[in-house]
Amino acid sequence: MDTPEAIIEFRGVSYRPPNGQTILRNLNLQVQSGEILVLLGRSGSGKTTALKLTNRLLEISTGAIEIEGRPSSQWDVITLRRHIGYAIQEIGLFPHFTVGRNIGVVPAIENWPKDRIQARVAELLNLVGLPSEIASRYPHQLSGGQRQRVGVARALAADPPILLMDEPFGALDPLTRSDLQREFLSLQRKLRKTVVFVTHDLHEALLLGTRIALLEEGSLVAISTAAEFVKSPEPLVVKYMQAFGSAESVRGNQ
Amino acid sequence: MNFWNFIAQNRNQIDDLTLEHLWVVGVATLLAVAVGIPLGILITRKPRLQKPVIATANIIQTIPSLALFGFLLPAPWIGDRAGRLAILALMLYALLPLIRNTFTGIKGVDRGVIEAARGMGLTDRQLLFQVELPLAASVILAGVRVALVTSIGLATIAAAIGAGGLGELIFRGLAMVNNAVILAGAIPAALMALAADTLLGWLENRLAPQRAT
């Protein structure tokens, strides 16, 4: 490890599915402790693939990803995944479990005692701004925004130091999304998790990202802090800025 | 001899045949569940086995039932007793709906749900028992329902090889050209099928996953 704070490090990572096209090409990047690294890119750019390689939902073709200084291939895959919180769009909630059971999935499979799980569920619901009565409801009885909060709470349940988030607010209306983004930021100020956040939305990237990595067709095009990102001369970044209108105003709102 | 008289006079025999029928169908369906559901699960894990397993079950399904009973007659141990033979044949017929529904039920579980479950670190076992099977339960049960109702009907033919059951009355009635006797076998069998269908349909509804929006 070059920097002691690098929690996740991609070293020349490529991914190519069996008899398919290369999806990720020679990716090198580090995720520092406590930062939100945003992987920005359009659909098919490889950003979700990079995320799934991190918790080994997909296996690297060449290169290596080091998690806390150890190559992911040397981790026991189940231990690795329980060490990393994972939140995806709302579909990831289990429809046959109550909200409480959904949030308590990982604590339950880690054999926490029942009362400790209950206490943790109540604590997390409070943390993500949901009333505790909601624990006994089912996902289909909640609004989209509530479901998403449950998704975040579930990812945080066993207090993993690392969080992977794949467009967690993608399916929400703009107002709810904006609320959740702000709440997530203030949550992150308290929790200081190491977060990899995938989005195709430049506004979201600028709002949430400590640093932004732009991916295009499986390659890393640019990586910099959000403030530097908007000034980047890189043609693709400029194109993004034009497509999303004046992004400066978005950052101004923060 | 009219129908009601026949029923009244042969009450005990009809009861015995109904029980025999239920026994053959029940054991065959339980065995089919015990074999079919694990096979259905297996082919979701080993995609290479999917085609051969489903094709085999399909082929069994296309064998006419009388012929299947005939094929099995020379089999050792099985062929010794007509009841065993009927159970085996009915079990073989019931395999296809069970394997197919287990497979499609599990494959039909939302990919996002599976991915989230794996991403959170559920083992394959935990994924199967906590997520896939509960969410596929209503589809699997629909397979059990088809298997059971079909077996109740098919089991009447097993009487042709001497396996007893309500088919015995049907065959006897056919030989005697006596509708009352045929009906005394056919009506209880039809009622049994209807009852099984209603009961499992109700269960299936109760197990259906909550509709996601």
ipTM of the complex: 0.85
Residue with tokens 């979700």: A48
Question: Residue B128 contacts by C-beta under 8 Å, 6 or more apart in sequence?
Answer: B41
Residue count of chain A, please give it.
Answer: 254
Question: Closest Cα to residue B116, out of A65, A95, A200?
Answer: A95
> Between A and B, how many CB-CB pairs are < 8 A?
68
Query: pLDDT per residue over A20-32, tens digit each?
Result: 899 999 999 999 9
- CA of residue B105 relative to chain centroid, distance: 17
What integer is the mean pLDDT of B77-85? 81
**Is A246 or A209 the better-scoring residue by pLDDT?**
A209
Question: Closest Cα to residue A11, out of A20, A23, A22, A2?
Answer: A2
Question: What pLDDT score was predicted for residue A248?
Answer: 52
| Residue B84 CA: distances (Å) to CA of A183, B23, B76, B105, B169 | 67, 11, 11, 31, 20
Residue of chain B whose Cα is closest to the Cα of A95: B210
Provide the CB-side half-sphere exposure for B37 (13 A, CA): 18
Radius of gyration of chain A (CA): 18
Question: What pLDDT score was predicted for residue B212?
Answer: 44
DSSP A158-223: T--SEEEEESTTTTS-HHHHHHHHHHHHHHHHHH--EEEEEES-HHHHHHH-SEEEEEETTEEEEE
Residue of chain A whose Cα is closest to the Cα of B123: A78
Question: What pLDDT score was predicted for residue B164?
Answer: 86
Beta bridge partners of A30: A9
What integer is the mean pLDDT of B117-141? 94
Residue from B109, B120, B131, B211 whose CB has the most chain A CBs within 10 Å, to mutate:
B120
Q: A104 pLDDT band (50/70/90 cuts)?
A: very high
Residue with tokens 């009622």: B191
Residues B114/B132, Cβ–Cβ less than 8 Å: yes
Asked if A95 lies within 8 A of B212 by C-beta distance, the reply is yes
What integer is the mean pLDDT of B94-99? 95
Separation CA B35–CA B15 (nearest Å) = 30
Residue with tokens 């398919």: A20
pLDDT at B210 over 70: no
Residue with tokens 């709102």: A253
Smallest Cβ distance to B115: which of A88, A95, A109?
Answer: A88
Question: What pLDDT score was predicted for residue A1?
Answer: 43
B116 vs A contacts (CB less than 8 Å): 86, 88, 91-94
Residue with tokens 């009487």: B159
Question: What pLDDT score was predicted for residue A250?
Answer: 54
Question: What pLDDT score was predicted for residue A77?
Answer: 95
Q: Are strands A211-216 and A36-40 parallel, antiparallel or unpaired?
A: parallel
Separation CA A57–CA A198 (nearest Å) = 15
Question: What pLDDT score was predicted for residue B1?
Answer: 60
Tell me what the pLDDT averaged over chain A comes to: 89
Helix axes B133-154, B11-45, angle to 10 degrees: 140
B48 vs A contacts (CB less than 8 Å): none
| H helix and E strand count, chain A | 11, 10
Portion of chain A with pLDDT greater than 90, in percent: 72
Asked if B120 lies within 8 A of A78 by C-beta distance, the reply is no
Report the gap between the CA of A236 and the closest CA in chain B (Å).
31
Q: Where are the beta strands (DSSP E) in chain A?
A: 6-15, 24-32, 36-40, 62-67, 70-71, 84-88, 162-166, 194-199, 211-216, 219-225
Residue of chain A whose Cα is closest to the Cα of B110: A91
**Is B119 or B69 the better-scoring residue by pLDDT?**
B119
pLDDT at A65 over 80: yes
Residue of chain A whose Cα is closest to the Cα of B125: A109
Residue with tokens 């002691």: A4
What integer is the mean pLDDT of A215-241? 88
Beta bridge partners of A163: A85, A195
Residue from A52, A105, A196 whose CB has the most chain B CBs within 10 Å, to mutate:
A105
Report the gap between the CA of A149 and the closest CA in chain B (Å).
15
Asked if A109 lies within 8 A of B117 by C-beta distance, the reply is no
Residue type at B163 in one-letter notation: A
For A46, which DSSP code?
Answer: S
